[in-house]
Amino acid sequence: MKAFVFNGVGRVGLEDVPLPTLKGEGAIIKVISSAVCATDVKIFKSGHFKIREGDRRVLGHEIFGEIVEVSRSYEEDFPVGTRVFVAPNLGCGKCEYCLMGKYNLCADYDAFGITIDGAFAEYMFVPRKAFEQGNVLKLTAAVPEGVVPLVEPLSTCLYNLSNLGLEPGDRVLVFGAGFMGILNALSARMMGASLVVVIDPNEQRLEVAMELGVNLGINPQKQDLNILKKDLTDGKGFDVVIVSVPVPEAQAQALELVSKLGRVSFFAGLPKGTPFPTLNTNVIHYNQITLTGTTGADVEYYRRALNMVVHREDLREKLIRLVSSFVTLEELPNAFERLAAGKELKVVVLNQQGG
């Protein structure tokens, strides 16, 4: 079968690989659709600490598929033909974080597209652990195929906002109008934020954000952020600031723009080797700021995100508008290059035409 394979830093491409087989308990899914994440690009550009030198890996951890073969133990709940969203992180199952369902914090985690083969392929093996840990979620509603993989990034935003204790009426500032920045902003709106402002030097992306319901898009190269703070919040600052760009200066700036009692989330990690910023820790102290961050989502939020996608047509429409290209597996290498060059907002792979 065809698969999009990572073969070491700077080397990705479409290859012929053997069909996955049912090795032990679990299932084989026929991939219906998958989405490309900034993490895939990060792996391509600088590798991943969990992928050893010389390993090859099918990428792709935003996954929607149909069960085509299943071991006896899961046959009753997941018969052949069941369509499933598959959440990417599998925990060791034994540590204290796993026992809380926070597989995203397990030190000994596995993940599709990182330590085990992922969804940029025609078929994918889903091991027993994924069934046991609740990663395999049935989809019975009619949802456009291209939208389902986006449950994964959506869940990470909902988890982030929940961790921030977002309250109705909060004024929210988001650094970054990439796919994840806009999705955080739209999620904050859905959860009751009164004002959501997004900052990015890319004006096209700011326009997309505003078309989808963000109140204001600001180009920091043209507008002074301190004046913005004064004008929009009476100088008090934003209740919540989310840094969804891997930029140390934005992390430092977040502390200057947040209000007293405000909350700041570092949602994007800094690439390996990036110098850490100098933070004004006195702002945290004197203004009683909560500084936090999240990576991935716990398994509960995958379920919440899937429910939102199933029941909210407005959300599905917005998600589709955030996809800059729907491509086939054959077209993925080109689209991946464009994404890596910053020319795509979000790429979704549809394995069958007409999704």
What residues line the site for Zn ion (CB under 5 A)? 37, 39, 91-92, 95, 98, 106
- Least Å from the CB of residue 144 to Zn ion: 19
- Least Å from the CB of residue 88 to Zn ion: 7
35/255 with CB nearer Zn ion? 35
Structure tokens at 210: 């505003």
- Least Å from the CB of residue 118 to Zn ion: 10
74/179 with CB nearer Zn ion? 179
91/217 with CB nearer Zn ion? 91
Structure tokens at 328: 């086939």
204 Cβ contact list (under 8 Å, min separation 6): none
34/259 with CB nearer Zn ion? 34
CA dihedral 231, 169, 287, 162 (to 10 degrees): -130
CA dihedral 246, 303, 127, 133 (to 10 degrees): 100
164 Cβ contact list (under 8 Å, min separation 6): 240, 242, 263, 265, 290, 292
- Least Å from the CB of residue 153 to Zn ion: 6
- Closest to 86 in 3D by CA, of 135, 144, 148, 44: 135
106/199 with CB nearer Zn ion? 106
78/179 with CB nearer Zn ion? 179
- Least Å from the CB of residue 319 to Zn ion: 14
45/230 with CB nearer Zn ion? 45
Dist. CA 261–CA 239, nearest whole Å: 7
Residue 272: how many other CB atoms lie within 10 Å: 10
- Least Å from the CB of residue 14 to Zn ion: 20
- Closest to 117 in 3D by CA, of 51, 189, 33: 51
Q: What are φ and ψ of residue 278, in 5° steps?
A: -85, 125
Dist. CA 62–CA 197, nearest whole Å: 27
78/302 with CB nearer Zn ion? 302
- Integer-rounded Cα Rg, in Å, for the chain is 20
- Least Å from the CB of residue 257 to Zn ion: 27
- Least Å from the CB of residue 6 to Zn ion: 15
Q: Angle at CA 268, nearest 5°, toward 296 and 13? A: 75
Structure tokens at 55: 């390993």
Dist. CA 161–CA 48, nearest whole Å: 26
Dist. CA 159–CA 302, nearest whole Å: 9
